[in-house]
Amino acid sequence: LLIYLNGKFVPKDEAKVSVYDHGFLYGDGVFEGIRAYNGRVFKLKEHVDRLYDSAKAIAMDIPVTREEMTEIILEALRKNNLKDAYIRPIVSRGIGDLGLDPRKCGKPSVIVIAQGWGAMYGDLYEVGLTGVSVCVRRNAPDALSPNIKSLNYLNNILAKIEANEKGGDEAIFLDHNGFVCEGSGDNIFVVKDDRVLTPFTISNLKGITRATAIELLDEMGYKVIESNLGLFDLYTADEIFVTGTAAESAPVTRLDGRVIGTGKPGPLTMKMVEAFAKITQSTGTQ
């Protein structure tokens, strides 16, 4: 496997960064998660744009242009002969000293890892995921905005640990007011009485799959309503599904010991899973 590291492709074993890189010392950096299906990169421009927006929000200049980044991502696939892949661009603040000050860091480090990848949840797409609402809260938008896809994913990891301990497949985050935000790595949708609802993006990552889902649902005649949602709305939903680059579109059929709807993936969720598979196979950059 060849990995892009600061200007060149190097073998996996040689793809190393300094212990003084502030990405390692402080989680100071940003990343993306992108998928390629059948040799085509899904929503490449959207992911590259979000990477640069995340960098802008943490006042970091990515030392390659968007066009160069796009080409590096495509080259990472070509060099490794990958058709179905997960691609992880990472830009960290770079090598500094042990202090926090980013002014001491030289150039940001740019890394792109691409590797083979299949469906994340295996058999669970048919039975549905078990969700667990967790105590750890999503970052508040006034602090480290959840819209920044930063290398600081500790609260997401804590959420995952909590879900693991409670036997769940995915954690559901609430914000500090108790409103539902999203999963640890995916956005959430609720179907109730033929209406589809999803939380506002102020409290969660503006998911690219979320945006795709909204478009697909629109084509199916459902206008998705952005709304504040509480756990009550989730427990009493007809259907719940999550969307994300890694998860794609996946049903949630159990949450905190409650059965959601019939306990089986609902009809609209299944239509979404199908529509999503179709769009990922038929569009994308190569």
Residues that bind ligand PLP (CB under 6 A): 33, 156, 182, 185-187, 204-205, 207-210, 243-245
Q: Are strands 248-255 and 258-259 parallel, antiparallel or unpaired?
A: antiparallel
Ramachandran angles phi, psi of 99, nearest 5°:
-80, 165
Find, among 44, 100, 92, the residue nearest to 72 by Cα.
44
Least separation in angstroms between residue 272's CB and ligand PLP is: 13
Least separation in angstroms between residue 60's CB and ligand PLP is: 19
**Nearest residue (CB) to ligand PLP, 21 versus 186:** 186
Structure tokens at 142: 């006034």
Rounded Cα–Cα distance for residues 17 and 28 (Å): 14
Least separation in angstroms between residue 34's CB and ligand PLP is: 8
**Nearest residue (CB) to ligand PLP, 30 versus 62:** 30
**Nearest residue (CB) to ligand PLP, 43 versus 93:** 43
**Nearest residue (CB) to ligand PLP, 92 versus 201:** 201
Least separation in angstroms between residue 152's CB and ligand PLP is: 11
Catalytic hit among 43, 104, 149, 166 = 149
Query: Is 149 an active-site residue?
Result: yes
At 82, which helix (H) or strand (E)? none
Q: Tokens 């667990």 sit at which residue? A: 132
Rounded Cα–Cα distance for residues 12 and 79 (Å): 13
Least separation in angstroms between residue 138's CB and ligand PLP is: 8
Burial group, residue 187, by CB count within 10 angstroms (0-12, 13-18, 19+): buried
**Nearest residue (CB) to ligand PLP, 243 versus 269:** 243
Read out DSSP for 117-182?
---SSTTHHHH-EEEEE-SSPPPPTTSS-TTS-BS--HHHHHHHHHHHHTT-SEEEEE-TTS-EEE
Query: Which residues are catalytically annotated?
Result: 149
